[in-house]
Structure 1
């Protein structure tokens, strides 16, 4: 049987419940032998400065480390210069000869996919596995009111991952933490408990970004 390997990259600043649900959906629905969760290194496409890589890596360990067949992969934060998905997929292809590679992402990333550096090369290496995202994201949004993004005009091939819509985002969570008291007693509603503890212990996001 062909080895099936997933790559799930992102800033993970912080990782939240929707990220974990996406990882679980990919593992189950793609029947993955391994899922590499990769915090972004130097994010050339983001205007804001990311939290230090060590914090984001530790939060990924707290968010995903207990899931079977998941590898928290630090290669992008260890790589000098900008991080490009095409380079990482090329490395994974060499590490798993003959494997079927999947790039796991959200619908918002799919809609912007053709702005990525060397996106055609990404498609040569991997199948896109996409979970839809709500159109309007807020940390305290009602999930029952979420409306998914329209992907009908997307003209590149992808496989659909099925999971409930999670109306939250890392941006909204950072804003939520900044607006709350230091203890953030309700933060574990938005992020896994280990991530909530890490944010509080290290006083992350208490100043606006």
Structure 2
């Protein structure tokens, strides 16, 4: 990914780096709200927003990466500290968060990484690839007030963890103080399939893009 000299200079001084990945199929207002809440509460210098490449954990085929990348750029265009990063789309093979964190750790060796996740992702954390290593590299910050730390008390969910999840991982998890928003990409795709309005669900520019490119309509 090519970055402008100004962006490169700004990133050189990053001390607190947010990392926010997802399918973004499509990106919606809750995604934007999560990033804005994280920037304010964690005092982040920069947030890397990463559309998923080959999503090994998704039961359905994602929309074309070109569209998901374009919509993500539109959704976060007004957030100057958010940089849409296409590395996971360009990466061959399955897209794992731990690989992205290792790369960012190498690029920003003096920065603290904060992995930003939604409530749905929080619930599936025990099944993540190398979740123990993820917890070692980054502080995990989840949307919603109910962190339910006991949900990670079963170490059998992460056989490849280099440490006991029950002892260590909960200490690396923080809650972002924001209301849970009922936005769902699945619901948005259903609305778009019948050409209903997406106002209040996605940013206006994303809604225009979905309608102009006839996304999510039955073939």
After TM superposition, the score normalised by the length of structure 2 is 0.82
Q: Distance in 2 between matches of 1:55 and 1:87?
A: 23
Q: SS in structure 2 opposite 1:12?
A: coil
Distance 1:177 1:149, change over 3 A: farther
Asked whether 1:53 is paired with 2:65, we answer yes
Deviates more, 1:114-123 or 1:153-162: 153-162
Q: Distance in 1 between matches of 2:90 and 2:207?
A: 25
Q: Work out whether residues 111 and 151 of structure 1, in 8 Å CA contact, stay in contact via their aligned partners in 2.
A: no
Q: CA deviation at 1:153?
A: 2.3
Q: Work out whether residues 71 and 209 of structure 2, in 8 Å CA contact, stay in contact via their aligned partners in 1.
A: yes
Q: CA deviation at 1:151?
A: 2.2
Match of residue 164 from structure 1: 179
Asked whether 1:26 is paired with 2:23, we answer no
1:78-133 CA-partner distances (Å, limit 9, x unpaired): 0000000000000000111121100000122112111111111111110000102x
Residue of structure 1 aligned with 2:48, choices 16, 33, 36:
36
Distance 1:154 1:66, change over 3 A: same
Q: Distance in 2 between matches of 1:128 and 1:44?
A: 21
Q: SS in structure 1 opposite 2:150?
A: coil
Q: CA deviation at 1:154?
A: 2.7
Q: Distance in 1 between matches of 2:185 and 2:90?
A: 22
The unaligned stretches of length 5 or more in structure 2 are 1-12, 153-168
Residue of structure 2 aligned with 1:11, choices 15, 19, 23:
23
Match of residue 154 from structure 1: 151
Asked whether 1:188 is paired with 2:190, we answer no
Q: Work out whether residues 35 and 71 of structure 1, in 8 Å CA contact, stay in contact via their aligned partners in 2.
A: yes
Asked whether 1:73 is paired with 2:123, we answer no
Distance 1:2 1:193, change over 3 A: closer
Q: CA deviation at 1:152?
A: 4.8
1:45-89 CA-partner distances (Å, limit 9, x unpaired): 011000000100000011012102110000000000000000000
The unaligned stretches of length 5 or more in structure 1 are 133-147
Q: Which structure has more helix as a fraction of its residues?
A: 2
Q: Distance in 1 between matches of 2:146 and 2:66?
A: 32
Q: Work out whether residues 16 and 170 of structure 1, in 8 Å CA contact, stay in contact via their aligned partners in 2.
A: yes
Match of residue 109 from structure 1: 121
Q: Work out whether residues 147 and 175 of structure 2, in 8 Å CA contact, stay in contact via their aligned partners in 1.
A: no
What's the RMSD between the two structures over aligned residues?
Answer: 1.7
After TM superposition, the score normalised by the length of structure 1 is 0.86
Match of residue 139 from structure 2: 127
